[in-house]
Amino acid sequence: MRRRLRLLAAALGGCGLLLGSALAAGDERLYTAAVMPALRVVTPEAAHGLALRAAALGLLPPARPDSPSLEVHVLGLRFRNPLGLAAGFDKHGEAVDGLYRMGFGFVEVGTVTPEPQEGNPKPRVFRLVEDEAVINRYGFNSHGHAAVERRLRARQEAQLKLTTVGMPLGVNLGKNKSSTDAAADYVAGVQTLGPLADYLVVNVSSPNTPGLRDLQGKAELRDLLTKVLAERDMLPSERKPAVLVKIAPDLTEQDKQDIAGVVCEGTADLQCWLAGGTTLCLAVGLRVCVHPIRPLGLQVVRDDYWVCCWGTSRLACQPVC
């Protein structure tokens, strides 16, 4: 028995040394050959949690230095490269620094709701291996504004330095499922998290929160954005965060024209909007994200390119769920 324990300890120690050397060398083959297959054995949500924890502990491979040619400037911000991590992976702001270490040009935490909420019942994430996608029914599970604010406040000085060298921080805002005043939820997010963000995203695209997509209606969106932007302008910080709105990828032509009209109005002084997120159109009852939505998100950008004012930036967003 003791001999077996010694052999097990030696084996685990050897695995630890192998992992450590691979991490130090930035060798990603270990992840392809061993880590990723192991993660596929556990449930999708458990794999998500393990990957997030590994990022928080700095156990994921570091990135190689970026070429200066990748640097972009948009929203009044410098980005060391145009590839960032969208909201949905680090929902609670737990692994921001580890994710920057992996090479992302920006990190967006969230979606964050005012009060903590569990989201939808489990299981709520399912793999579609052949489609390189997942069915996502998380439902805005969130630790709430206060918890995320504490985490981001603790690293505020570090983030200021990261922003300066081209790694901005975004915060994606949502509403609580039980809320009766959606605009008040988003305004509260601006008040609490706006001073800690380089940009804020008003997320009205998720199909997993009842009534949320109704906020994409012309009158509803105009009212919401007017209140959000007014609150942003009252923030005490000298440099105000940019405000973006995230819309669904499967809108009708009329919906897209209405949203573009609101974005272009003087009353909605948006600096950018994002097309992407979770779609309902691929199968009845499914909320599918990642690979299959790419053509949908890009089509929204192409369509609205012609109906939206030239001074507003447009981004196609492929989320990590």
Q: Which residues contact 83 (CB under 8 A, 6 or more apart)?
A: 103, 104, 105
C-alpha–C-alpha distance, residues 290 and 131, integer Å: 9
For residue 32, report the phi and psi dihedrals to the nearest 5 degrees: -65, -40
Q: Which element (helix H / strand E) includes 191?
A: helix 182-193
Q: Tell me whether residue 209 is exposed, middle or buried, using C-beta atoms within 10 angstroms of its C-beta: 0 to 12, 13 to 18, 19 or more.
A: buried
Residue position matching structure tokens 């965060």:
241
Beta-carbon count within 10 A of 211 CB: 12
**Cβ within 8 Å of residue 8, ≥6 positions away:** none
Verify whether residue 206 is a known catalytic residue.
yes
In the set 21, 142, 206, 313, the catalytic residue is 206
Active site residue ranges: 206
